[in-house]
Amino acid sequence: MSTAGPGGRIQTSRPGDPSRIGPYRIIGRLGSGGMGTVHAGLAPDGLRVAVKVIHSAQAEDADFRARFRREVELSRRVQGPCLIPLLAAEPEASPPWLATAYAPGPTLNQHLADRGPLTGGTLYAFAAGTAQALAAIHAAGVVHRDIKPQNVVLTPAGPRVLDFGIAHAADGTSITRTGVMTGTPGWISPEHYRTGTAGPAGDMFAWGALVAYAATGRLPFGTGAPDVVAFRVMSGEPDLDGMPGKLREIVEKCLAKEPADRTNAASAAEECALLLASQDTQVLGDGAGPEPTRVGELVTAQWDMPPLDDPAWPLPPTRSRKRTVAAILAAAAVVGGIAGGALALPSGTENTTHDAADAQAPPGETNAPRTGPAPSGTGTAKPSVDPRTVGIPKDPLLGVSDPAYTRADDPAQPGYDEWRASTAAAGPEEKDVEEAVRKDMTSILATKDMDFMKPIVTFNRRAQTVMVTGGPISMLTDDYKEVFGRTGAMAACTALAHRLEGAPTTWPYGRYYVLWKDFDGQTEPTFLDFGQATDGCLPETAGQWQGGEAGLPTAAMPSSDKAEIRIADTLVEAVRTAWNTRAAGGQYGLIPFGRDDSISLGFDPVEKAAYVWGRDDPGALVGRAQKSQFQQLVSKTVCQEMGAEYDRNENWNYTRWSVAVYQGNSGVAEFIGSGTCTAD
């Protein structure tokens, strides 16, 4: 659970995330792990901080709370070079949290993947700095127990060791109550494998492996099945080929099988500092080791990292847009409106409630494109649009006797070998589809400032599959990749469905496959999505569009489209006012919303849907009747306002809505209704 971030970039907050923790204003996420979630926060003086909030399941464990409380107290004592100081903590809060200074930069893992091993003075600075950090940790009576490449950040000023003093509170590399070994193979000491012992000597074993990995780019005990790696750790010799001779000697001592034979952290730091001083051409008198402050100076002097793109963190949005969302990637992007034709957006609504006891669902939407008058009857009828906005027909080949696409009944996912065999577009038909996919994806991604993600579209005729590949973009978060996957799937599915409808007996492609490459040379990209245009391009239930977990995180990402921002502000204020007016009048036993961010709204440009989510604050949405009233109020208000926007804006094509409720800080959404705005 890292306190660092790639170049100061933060992920969007999720619905249900807090807007403030202690004195810190929360503006996004930095990561998450088994222990909890790390939020990006700003102190009152503008200092950037990482705020770790413990998962509720662990917070309810009395033993865990006791360990967490003890380790927080120990961590307060730890000070030294190449450490990230603990700033504040509330072990008794619900949930418990702690805050540390923020350290920008890639982890060692990320740096090695992007730029290869460390060399020269930078390597010695890495070894000296991390050893000095462990010396300070051990001097305070703390054992780290989770030294690994993901827990070391290469900041512009030098390496920084993360999670000191609390890593083992989450049982990261210890024997659990069930006796099952957990942790990362290759970073667990021999004695830990044998007896579960985890002390300072175990940290030094992991440090030796860490420095070897930094110097060579190879894991000293190799890769493979966990039991195979464990056998090598306990009985094999490490692979240290390519390491500088004197540094290799220090590392070999730390990788000794017996804890008593290893160098301690203070001695390793001193020896590495002497190597570093020789790089700095400075002589230490009488063989005396350098002081800790001197180590820090030497590390800074020899540290050589590529320039870091470290944008300033934005302040949280004001008014109703303060909706659990923070700015994410500070990249230059073209801010554009939503492209594509506009749909006649009527003022009524078709809806699907997720609880049959709350409301009766009217008949579902049709599958064919539709046109119609403007909602109020005062506007001009608009042309039909991309069928995505009302649902691609379930099977474009229905009734075609001899279609060219023959795999409609084949549910198998395409394989990497088929991706490798794909080629660039050849011929006007393939080039038209390539252009349609790229144009559609760029249009959708631009609404979230993500049009810097350029897709590569290739074709495998034998597999009858269109491949959409993204990347490589350094240190991109999973949230962005997920949105790219959804966007690529929708764009490819739509383009293929149109082509299948227009040329069913000659067009052979009907499948799509969306992948992501994290770095050049990656042999097997990460799978994101796949499907068939003959299955439809939107999630539907009994013929009706159904909002859900895929669209909500996308909707929570900040929009760059001015119309979306304006409509979001207007709708949130309208829903809040209408609800509180009803509550003040005593209708249905409603309770007013008490917080400014208790109602939030965002747009999912992939499925052209507005998502509204409310927090049960303070008990306003606790019962089924209250949730039903909230869903009905939202659907009516959203369709009225989006219908009015249709009259004003020829590019407006949002027609769907979905409503969710969060209970407390659980982070789990309950979807209570979805629907499509329809003609009166």
Find residue 600's DSSP bridge partners: 613
Has residue 114 got a pLDDT over 70? yes
Listed residue (491, 392, 378) closest to 443, CA to CA: 491
Summarised one tens digit per residue, pLDDT across range 247-297 is 999 999 999 999 999 999 999 999 999 988 887 554 444 444 555 556 667
Residue with tokens 């008949």: 363
Rounded to whole angstroms, the Cα distance separating 446 from 452 reads 8
14-28, 167-181, 506-520: range with lowest mean pLDDT: 167-181
463/526: higher pLDDT: 463
Has residue 360 got a pLDDT over 60? no
| Mean pLDDT, rounded, for 430-453 | 93
7-11, 58-62, 659-663: range with lowest mean pLDDT: 7-11
Q: Residue 598 has what pLDDT?
A: 77
| Mean pLDDT, rounded, for 557-572 | 87
475/628: higher pLDDT: 628
Among this protein's residues, is 146 annotated catalytic?
yes
Find residue 4's DSSP bridge partners: 103
Q: Residue 122 has what pLDDT?
A: 94
Q: Residue 390 has what pLDDT?
A: 45
Cα–Cα separations (whole angstroms), residue 441 to 301, 451, 485, 583: 46, 8, 10, 43
Q: Residue 31 has what pLDDT?
A: 79
Listed residue (138, 262, 257) closest to 193, CA to CA: 257
23-37, 124-138, 476-490: range with lowest mean pLDDT: 23-37
| Mean pLDDT, rounded, for 560-581 | 87
How many CA atoms, within 13 angstroms, populate the side-chain half-sphere of residue 475?
A: 30
Q: Counting every residue, how long is the chain? A: 680
Q: Residue 663 has what pLDDT?
A: 65
Query: In the chain, what percentage of residues exceed pLDDT 90?
Result: 32
Query: Residue 69's pLDDT band (boundaries 50, 70, 90)?
Result: confident
Has residue 517 got a pLDDT over 80? yes
Rounded to whole angstroms, the Cα distance separating 290 from 275 reads 11
Rg of the chain on CA atoms, in Å = 28
Query: Residue 549's pLDDT band (boundaries 50, 70, 90)?
Result: confident
170-184, 456-470, 617-631: range with lowest mean pLDDT: 170-184
| Mean pLDDT, rounded, for 468-495 | 86
Q: Residue 79 has what pLDDT?
A: 80
Rounded to whole angstroms, the Cα distance separating 184 from 223 reads 11
4-13, 491-500, 547-556, 620-629: range with lowest mean pLDDT: 4-13
Has residue 130 got a pLDDT over 90? yes
Catalytic residue, candidates 17, 146, 203, 449 = 146
**DSSP structural state of residue 413:** P
Listed residue (663, 600, 596) closest to 626, CA to CA: 663
Asked if 200 contacts 268 with a C-beta cutoff of 8 angstroms, the reply is: no
Query: Residue 582's pLDDT band (boundaries 50, 70, 90)?
Result: confident
- SS3 call for 116: coil
What is the DSSP track for 195-256? H---SHHHHHHHHHHHHHHHHHSS-TT--S-HHHHHHHHHHSPP--TTS-HHHHHHHHHHT-
Summarised one tens digit per residue, pLDDT across range 595-647 is 556 788 999 999 999 999 887 655 667 677 778 888 888 888 898 888 888 88
Query: Residue 547's pLDDT band (boundaries 50, 70, 90)?
Result: confident
- SS3 call for 274: helix
- SS3 call for 36: strand
Q: Is the dihedral of CA 530, 660, 599, 8 positive or negative?
A: negative
Q: Which helix (H) or strand (E) holds 645?
A: helix 624-648
Q: Residue 6 has what pLDDT?
A: 42
Q: Residue 289 has what pLDDT?
A: 52
Has residue 62 got a pLDDT over 90? no
Q: Residue 2 has what pLDDT?
A: 43
327/561: higher pLDDT: 561
207/368: higher pLDDT: 207
Token representation of residue 254: 């730390």
Has residue 318 got a pLDDT over 80? no
Has residue 542 got a pLDDT over 80? no
Cα–Cα separations (whole angstroms), residue 627 to 112, 116, 588, 630: 50, 54, 11, 5
| Mean pLDDT, rounded, for 545-572 | 86
Rounded to whole angstroms, the Cα distance separating 326 from 128 reads 37
| Mean pLDDT, rounded, for 366-378 | 33
Has residue 666 got a pLDDT over 60? no
Has residue 189 got a pLDDT over 50? yes
Listed residue (5, 8, 27, 15) closest to 315, CA to CA: 27
Query: Residue 530's pLDDT band (boundaries 50, 70, 90)?
Result: very high
Has residue 30 got a pLDDT over 80? yes
Has residue 178 got a pLDDT over 50? no
Mean of the per-residue pLDDT values of the chain:
78
Has residue 7 got a pLDDT over 90? no
17/403: higher pLDDT: 403
Rounded to whole angstroms, the Cα distance separating 658 from 638 reads 10
pTM of the model: 0.49
Q: Residue 347 has what pLDDT?
A: 39
Q: Residue 34 has what pLDDT?
A: 63
Q: Residue 179 has what pLDDT?
A: 38
267/36: higher pLDDT: 267
Summarised one tens digit per residue, pLDDT across range 217-235 is 999 999 887 778 888 999 9
